[in-house]
Amino acid sequence: MSSETIALNAVGESSRPIGERLHDWVVTVDHKKLGILYILYALFFLVVGGIEAIIMRIQLIVPHNHFVSPQIFNRMMTMHGTTMIFFMVMPILFGFGTYLIPLMIGARDMAFPRLNAFSFWMTAFGGLLLYFSFIGGNGLYGAGTAPDVGWWAYAPLTARAFSPGHSTDFWTLALLVSGIGSVGTGVNFIATILCMRCPGMTLGKMPLLAWLNLVVGGMVIFCISPLTAAQIMLLIDRYLGGHFFDTQAGGSAVLWMHFFWIFGHPEVYILVVPAFAFVSEIVPVFSRKPIFGYPIMVAATIAIGFISFSVWAHHMFTIGMSSYGNSFFVFTTVAIAVPTGIKIFNWLGTMWGGKIQLQVPMLFCIGFLFQFLIAGLTGIMLGTAPFNWQLSGSYFVVAHFHYVIVGGIVFALFGAFYYWYPKMSGRMYNETLGKWHFWLFIIGFHLTFDFMHIPGLLGMPRRIYTYEPGRGWEVWNFIVTIGAFLQAAGVLVFVVNLLWSLRKGDTAGNDPWDAWTLEWSTSSPPPDYDFAATPVVRSRRPLWDLKHPEDPDWKYE
């Protein structure tokens, strides 16, 4: 590897005392270290949230089970949802964004490194605050409890009368604090991508990952803030005696639903657009072709960003909106499927006629494509008001959104892990273990979430802690729980692979995939300063230009 390096300190990293090295991680403002902190923190919460899911699935494996009490089931349900959305998927995506964006646009750090650190620690302390509720939730009254109001915390469940103690306050404050961190990250993404690009990288030459994260940054600042506002209102209601969501004083429970979902639906796209970004980087490299339809991909992403702010009330078809309201939200929901469909066609177009290499990152991306398509189709089914009236609040909905989040987002995330692990750690992962992870996880996923649709169609409501035998739900619930254990086994293999490869993996070198974006031009792991000299790019695939000076991309773009 002949990449230029600057010798900053002669002392080797491993020879310094452990306390000093840990101190470096706590006070760091380096985007790579913060990115890894985000990712490790999120992986911890993946395990925690996964255990909560497993507890729920054990409770539901047979009818009339007594594994946990109804109260604990409600807490597990609330904590699983809140943890996975706010403290697992979002931080892990921010982590990858923080790590990769400066490297991919040829910058040495984010636009605001200290804001970056601030955002991470706000998110981290938000998660601690949420989990402190297990100890402090009931305050001085007695044993602690976690919040049990569901991840969307509909009014009036959150009113003082129905949520005594502090469990709901921990939930509110956790989301308020981590929301401030998220807005900081959103601001930082936008400023970094607009203001820190290396010479020659015009907006039209940015890697798609940077483009998509720019859209994510815009969505974060406009969609997390309504949640922050609603949490402030809830705090005013609970502590100052306000009446925002107090129906006895003329307040409206439906207003909370609107405020929650005007955050909640763009949030889904905040989670899925970075997953699109990973797939848009991985699929071309493993198909050995440039991305198909780059400008259309960008346009489709921007379209998704805008339309996602007009679909929120499709979560609320059953509250009794006017027929005009219903029609509008059906229309927008179906409309957002169009740019999403364009993206799927573009990824297929990239693979079409390519020399496809079925390594682990690509396997996960193919899984993503297949499952995200099905998730989108059930989404259109649920977005149609009459169908929604039939199935809202059933396990069909649970199956649908887990298809999006696990089948889509988590699969793309695992693909990203395997793709960038060599860059972040300097070592290759174990391909055999990676394949074991993929097959265990995809079989477990389909057992769980394919078969979860069926009890929903048979009328099984979501959020119930147990059910009567003899309704035809038993066999499906049994299969679903077995699948959950297979997924857990897959994740275990994944964690083992990460830890084992960190010590024993082959040295990766700068560019193990023969890829084309700037992060592969620097060493693995990258030095503190990222690039010895600021790169200058002339096309969307700067490394292709360097490797093929006889046939560079910039002649054709």
Which are the contacts of 178, defined by CB distance < 8 A and separation ≥ 6?
86, 87, 90, 122, 123, 126, 127
User: In angstroms, what CA-CA distances link 192 with 97, 179, 196, 455, 543?
Assistant: 11, 20, 5, 47, 22
Among 50, 226, 305, 383, binds other proteins (CB under 8 A): 226
Among 35, 49, 251, 290, binds other proteins (CB under 8 A): 251
Sole window of 51-59, 255-263, 340-348, 482-490 interacting with other proteins (rule: CB under 8 A): 255-263
240 counts as binding other proteins under rule CB under 8 A? yes
Q: Which of residues 367-386 bind other proteins (CB under 8 A)?
A: none
Helix axes 431-457, 395-402, angle to 10 degrees: 160
Instruction: State whether residue 8 is helix, strand or coil.
Output: coil
Sole window of 37-45, 362-370, 387-395, 539-547 interacting with other proteins (rule: CB under 8 A): 539-547
User: In angstroms, what CA-CA distances link 547 with 32, 134, 516?
Assistant: 26, 55, 9
CB of 220 to other proteins, least distance (A): 8
CB 553 within 8 A of CB 290: yes
Q: Kindly report the CA angle at 208 between 205 and 213, in degrees rounded to 5?
A: 115
490 counts as binding other proteins under rule CB under 8 A? no
CB of 254 to other proteins, least distance (A): 10
109 counts as binding other proteins under rule CB under 8 A? no
Tokens of 252: 């409206």
Q: For residue 443, which of 524, 543, 367 has the smallest C-alpha distance?
A: 367
Among 222, 439, 485, 529, binds other proteins (CB under 8 A): 222
When the beta carbons of 471 and 548 are compared against other proteins, the nearer one is 548
Which are the contacts of 241, defined by CB distance < 8 A and separation ≥ 6?
none
Number of residues that bind other proteins (CB under 8 A): 64
Distinct helix (H) and strand (E) counts, the chain: 17, 0
CB 436 within 8 A of CB 496: no
Helix axes 90-104, 208-240, angle to 10 degrees: 140
225 counts as binding other proteins under rule CB under 8 A? yes
Among 1, 40, 135, 475, binds other proteins (CB under 8 A): 1
16 counts as binding other proteins under rule CB under 8 A? no
Distance of CA 428 to the CA centre of its chain: 24
Q: Kindly report the CA angle at 223 between 43 and 395, in degrees rounded to 5?
A: 60
Q: Which of residues 157-216 bind other proteins (CB under 8 A)?
A: 183, 186-188, 190-192, 194-197, 199-200
What phi and psi, each to the nearest 5 degrees, are found at residue 507?
A: -65, 135
Q: Which of residues 499-518 bind other proteins (CB under 8 A)?
A: 509-512, 514
When the beta carbons of 29 and 187 are compared against other proteins, the nearer one is 187
When the beta carbons of 71 and 247 are compared against other proteins, the nearer one is 247
When the beta carbons of 84 and 111 are compared against other proteins, the nearer one is 111
Residues that bind other proteins (CB under 8 A): 1-4, 111-112, 115, 183, 186-188, 190-192, 194-197, 199-200, 217-218, 221-226, 228-230, 232-233, 236-237, 240-244, 249-252, 255, 259, 262, 509-512, 514, 520-522, 531-536, 543, 546-547
